[in-house]
Amino acid sequence: MSHYTANLRDIEFCLFDLLGRDKVLGSSIYSELDRDTAMGMLEEMKRLTENDLAASFVEGDRIGTDFNKATGDIKLPESFKKSYKAYVDGEWWRLDAPVDLGGMKVPASVRWAIAEMVLGSNPAIHIYASGYAFAQVAYVLGTDVQKKMAKHMVDRHWGATMQLTEPDAGSDVGAGRSKAVQQPDGTWHITGTKRFITSGDADIYDNIMHFTLARREGGGPGTKGLSLFLIPKFMFDLETGELGKRNGVYVTNVEHKMGLNVSATCEMNLGEKEPAVGYLLGDVHEGIFQMFKVIEFARMMVGTKAIATLSAGYLQALAYAKTRVQGGDMKVMNDKASPRVTIIKHPDVRRSLMVQKAYSEGMRALVLYTASIQDEIELAHAAGDTEKLETMEKLNDLLLPVVKGFGSEKSWTLLGTESLQTFGGSGFTQDWPLEQYVRDAKIDTLYEGTTAIQGLDFFFRKVVKDGGRALGLLGKEIQAFAETGGVHAAEKQALLKALADLNGIIGVLVGHAMASQEKADEIYKVGLSTSRALMAVGDVIISWLLLRQADIAAEKLAAGAGKDTDFYTGKIASAKFFVATVLPHITADRKIVEATDSTIMEIPESAF
């Protein structure tokens, strides 16, 4: 039996009942895709992920990658290659490829709903298939010649990597030392070492295009001196795409990891054996700006992966709790002769399941809400509505670190403390997929910037730099909803209180940031609380989305829900549970932030 079950009913509810995506389908730039076609795609992906893609999930973990250090080549398990081929043969790559090169114009909301199922079933498949999304970047930002390269990437199904991190620099990208020297023919020779490069090599495609940050000769310090180069594994004919000689970019090591073992995480050497020939993307030295187009996609993917894994873990835990018989009902626990019951009858198991349900469904709504903003960006761009475009872009920027940072942190924590715990000792064994879910999900808090980095990015770049406009806009929307009252009036009052506490947290941090202009060490108080602020933002947004779902569910029940009665009842229950058990913590968080001082920074290192 497959380890994976797609929660398509909830995906459908989020897309169409909560977010009204049927209103954008069948019109404007999405005219070729209506609701029925979108649902057909989602249903087909559910079938594919629960069968062909899920089939190699366990074996990919157990076998992992086979690295030939002499050649720098990596082989993947045959079962995984079969699953990957099923994805490519099903032409799902068209969702990410440029439309001009055979891609399909699909709203981001539908695209990420489909991606959730792939990432929950066998995440490495989606990761290895990133070449099509990278081709989109090369096609949009590249020269006419590089647009041809993008076409070869799509037509020949090449892979791609994002090469930022270096051994000494880590997350401090601007400290990178890889060097690029221009050649008489206009190409560049790049030298250096990159680390933690995902999909650095694999035998599922003929060629790989490495999107590599390097400092051009004479380039200044920091991120501003970085440029982005396209470095192929094999040189190729620019007109035909036919492969030529080996280029000087080699895998020199594959990391032995805690999880996600079938995804090759590599150390890469550039220019040691022979020149690593690269092409300056767009013929402009705007590397960090260009790379952020890739990073934004990657952060959305990582958050979606984490949340998809939590959903899979919750559904596994739920199924186990409904069948595992252990202990008697708590009401008669002293009566040893009383009938044994399934563990879902036990109060703390129910509490645990409801935590998992509320977060997995709430964070799915967060991902798809963010994706719906991306829909609106495309629509505004197509309509030439510059005011709406700017607003939606700011809102998307605000939400991305929440999707990635909050989503990954909560998913990893809940998978280990709740989903796995539901299984008791069995969860710690390889008899069930939870231990692999936990190991695979931990990387999500580290990929594309740790949770602390996401918190700093959220506060300094998305709130302070923006003057709080996007956060204020979102806050007003949440407040307007919370003031509507109705059937969930009490819960909406609690949401208003949490929103006020969140605004208080942000206000305190802004005050510290301003004070640091006069007294530099005041900034430490900000750094000590940005992760807490990010978690609070996520919880408030989740509460808002869950209560919106609960209102819709109440209307459906009042009208007679039929076979969906339990589904809608569960929606209301999870929203009420979340508001009652999670939101009070934000009041406590505000008190903690208000009381935070910087004395911890004064403790000598030897005292730790």
- Asked whether residue 148 carries a pLDDT value surpassing 90, the answer given is yes
Residue 378's identity, in one-letter code, is E
State how far the Cα of 430 lies from the Cα of 474, in Å rounded to an integer. Answer: 43
Residue 558 has, within 13 A of its CA and on its CB side, a CA count of 8
SS3 571: helix
The stretch 314-336 carries a mean pLDDT of 92
Whole-structure pTM value: 0.96
Select from 454, 492, 461, 514 the least CA-distant residue to 578: 492
Residue 388's identity, in one-letter code, is K
State how far the Cα of 293 lies from the Cα of 282, in Å rounded to an integer. Answer: 14
Give yes or no for a contact between 344 and 330, defined as CB atoms under 8 angstroms apart: no
Interacting residues of 255 by C-beta distance below 8 A, sequence separation 6+: 196, 265, 266, 267
Confidence of residue 176 (pLDDT cuts 50, 70, 90): confident
The stretch 259-278 carries a mean pLDDT of 96
Measured CA to CA in angstroms, residue 132 lies from 9, 337, 375 at distances of: 28, 62, 19
- Asked whether residue 180 carries a pLDDT value surpassing 80, the answer given is yes
State how far the Cα of 22 lies from the Cα of 108, in Å rounded to an integer. Answer: 13
Measured CA to CA in angstroms, residue 460 lies from 238, 249, 495, 518 at distances of: 43, 36, 25, 18
β-bridge mates for residue 230, sequence order: 211, 279
β-bridge mates for residue 249, sequence order: 270
Full DSSP string of 525-558: HHHTTHHHHHHHHHHHHHHHHHHHHHHHHHHHHH
Task: Give, for 471, the enclosing helix (H) or strand (E).
Answer: helix 469-482
State how far the Cα of 310 lies from the Cα of 314, in Å rounded to an integer. Answer: 6
Scored b (16 or more CB within 10 A) or e, 285-309 reads bbbbebbebbbbbbbbbbbbbbbbb
State how far the Cα of 263 lies from the Cα of 286, in Å rounded to an integer. Answer: 29
The stretch 402-428 carries a mean pLDDT of 97
The lowest-confidence range among 19-28, 56-65, 332-341, 426-435 is: 332-341
State how far the Cα of 415 lies from the Cα of 312, in Å rounded to an integer. Answer: 10
Dihedral (Cα; 89, 95, 97, 99), 10-degree rounding: 120
Confidence of residue 181 (pLDDT cuts 50, 70, 90): very high
Question: What is the torsional sign of CA 518, 522, 527, 532?
Answer: negative
Task: Give, for 246, the enclosing helix (H) or strand (E).
Answer: strand 243-246
Measured CA to CA in angstroms, residue 262 lies from 101, 186, 540 at distances of: 29, 37, 36
Select from 41, 14, 200 the least CA-distant residue to 115: 41
Token pair recorded at residue 276? 């690593």
The stretch 456-466 carries a mean pLDDT of 97
pLDDT tens, residue by residue, 530-553 = 999 999 999 999 999 999 999 999
Give yes or no for a contact between 230 and 209, defined as CB atoms under 8 angstroms apart: yes
Confidence of residue 528 (pLDDT cuts 50, 70, 90): very high
Backbone torsions φ then ψ of 266, nearest 5 degrees? -120, 155
- Mean of all residue pLDDT scores within the chain: 96
* Residues catalogued as catalytic: 448
Token pair recorded at residue 231? 């470095």
Confidence of residue 335 (pLDDT cuts 50, 70, 90): confident
pLDDT tens, residue by residue, 80-118 = 999 999 999 999 999 999 999 999 999 999 999 999 999
Measured CA to CA in angstroms, residue 45 lies from 7, 12, 40, 91, 369 at distances of: 12, 13, 9, 11, 21
pLDDT at residue 334, rounded to an integer: 78
Nearest 5°: the CA angle 92, 40, 570 is 110
State how far the Cα of 411 lies from the Cα of 399, in Å rounded to an integer. Answer: 17
Measured CA to CA in angstroms, residue 218 lies from 5, 182, 285, 515 at distances of: 53, 11, 12, 37
Token pair recorded at residue 383? 């309509």
Q: Are strands 188-198 and 276-280 parallel, antiparallel or unpaired?
A: antiparallel
